[in-house]
Structure 1
Amino acid sequence: METYTAMRHFADSWGLLAMALFFIGAVVFVYRPGGRKQADQAARIPLEDD
């Protein structure tokens, strides 16, 4: 039962902080300058003929 308590305390503090930082990083990555051009190029890859 002590393992559950330790994991719960970790998830309530550092785990939440890690998930929040990951979310903020993902949002910044998506909305960075020049991101649309790269996303459009990546979206066209399956449609290109080899």
Structure 2
Amino acid sequence: MSYNDLRHFADSWGLVFMGMTYLILIGWHFLPKGRERSAEAALAIFEQEEADHG
């Protein structure tokens, strides 16, 4: 396989693959479970840690 063949593949199917991956990852957050997990993750930094500081 030459450089031009690899470049042509990346320009066509590579772009399709990256676009589909992007849409799937963004769409994942709009599912019911995804919304719950996103909300939990957004508020996680505000939760108090209950660690024993000795």
TM-score (norm 2): 0.65
The 4+ residue runs of structure 1 with deviation greater than 6 A are none
- Provide the rounded CA distance (Å) in 2 between the counterparts of 1:38 and 1:44: 10
- For 2:30, give the aligned amino acid: Y
The secondary structure found in structure 1 opposite 2:48 is coil
- For 1:13, give the aligned amino acid: S
The secondary structure found in structure 2 opposite 1:49 is coil
- For 1:43, give the aligned amino acid: A
- Provide the rounded CA distance (Å) in 2 between the counterparts of 1:45 and 1:33: 19
**C-alpha RMSD of the superposition:** 1.8
- Provide the rounded CA distance (Å) in 2 between the counterparts of 1:47 and 1:32: 24
How many residues matched? 49
Q: Which residue in 1 is equivalent to 2:6?
A: 7
Structure with greater helix share of residues: 1
Point out the structure with max Rg over C-alpha: 2
5+ residue gaps in structure 2? 50-54
